[in-house]
Amino acid sequence: MPEGKIIKALSGFYYVLDESKESGKVIQCRARGIFRKNKVTPLVGDYVVYQAEHDKEGYLLEVKERTNELVRPPISNVDQAVLVFSATEPTFSTSLLDRFLVLVEANHIKPIICITKIDLLKTEEARETIQAYADDYRQMGYDVHLTSTIERDGIEQLTPHFHNKITVFAGQSGVGKSSLLNAMSPDLALKTNDISTHLGRGKHTTRHVELIHTAEGLIADTPGFSSLEFTGIEAEDLDLYFLDIKEKSRACKFRGCLHVKEPGCAVKEAVENEEIREYRYQHYLEFLTEIKDRKPRY
């Protein structure tokens, strides 16, 4: 049976890119009743087995095992997330960035940090501040790219990351995600206008997930993470999603240390010695409190 990848889901139809054929045909498929019976909902990004009735239509028979699965947006097998934040307009927020990083790490997705609009930094002090943040996150082990779509700074360095990958974009509103896509692939100009329109918040806008070809990979045409709550993340696991804290926590005296008031905490010691940035530790404490105060779901 032929296999492929779902690149769009709309109105009960699943559009499967047949990757076994050189032609790269897209087959419009419906899901068999067995999926409903087994409570399996096919997602964009799924690798599937399908049966083609003819060149353009068929039925899904099987969904292959997923490496990961997001609820909002509904997509699976995501390789990486580009977290897009502007250097200014809106102001760069380490708190929001750390929230996104935790969500991405918890879903076993590789994060790439992209700071846009660096051309709008008019003072040396402002440039040094952003550069210092970029250096901090690089030191933690993250890929960080400083970009300007106006001056095309950093675009060539960012583009190779997308080769043969499924990528989602997420981050602050108004940071110029569409402009970034356009800068990477100018032939997508019309497509990104469509994206901007149907990612709007109006009552009558279409909201669906679709994978679009660009930069030799597939990018999810989606509003990104619409839920920023730490659902499913437990307090004792939070430090796993802060790379700098995770590294130091191995030396804590007590197993299961939450790095708050416990004696012999290597993380608190690292903060005092400025080996972990104070703002990162404060965000960890804020998120920990939020998780502990979360109302249980029954």
Q: What is the pLDDT of residue 198?
A: 41
% of the chain beyond a pLDDT of 70 = 89
**Considering its fold, how many domains does the chain have in total?**
3
- In this prediction, residues 14-32 reach a mean pLDDT of 84
Helices (H), the chain: 33-37, 94-106, 124-140, 155-158, 177-184, 189-198, 243-249, 266-272, 278-292
Instruction: Work out the burial of residue 82: count CB atoms within 10 Å of its CB; fewer than 13 is exposed, 13-18 middle, 19 or more buried.
Output: buried
Distance in Å from the first CA to the final CA of the chain: 41
Interstrand relation of 75-76 and 69-70 (parallel, antiparallel or unpaired): antiparallel
Report the half-sphere exposure of 213 (CA within 13 A, side-chain side). 6
Could you tell me the CATH number of the domain that includes residue 54?
Answer: 2.40.50.140
pLDDT digits (tens, 9 = 90+) for 37-65: 888 899 999 999 999 887 789 999 999 99
Q: Is residue 107 part of a domain?
A: yes
The amino acid at 192: T
pLDDT digits (tens, 9 = 90+) for 122-177: 999 999 999 999 999 999 999 999 999 888 889 899 989 999 999 998 887 777 77
Q: Is residue 281 part of a domain?
A: yes
Same domain, 198 and 84: yes
* Pair 222, 209: CB distance under 8 Å: yes
Same domain, 216 and 242: no
pTM for this entry = 0.87
pLDDT digits (tens, 9 = 90+) for 185-240: 777 654 544 444 443 333 333 467 889 888 889 998 766 666 678 888 999 999 99
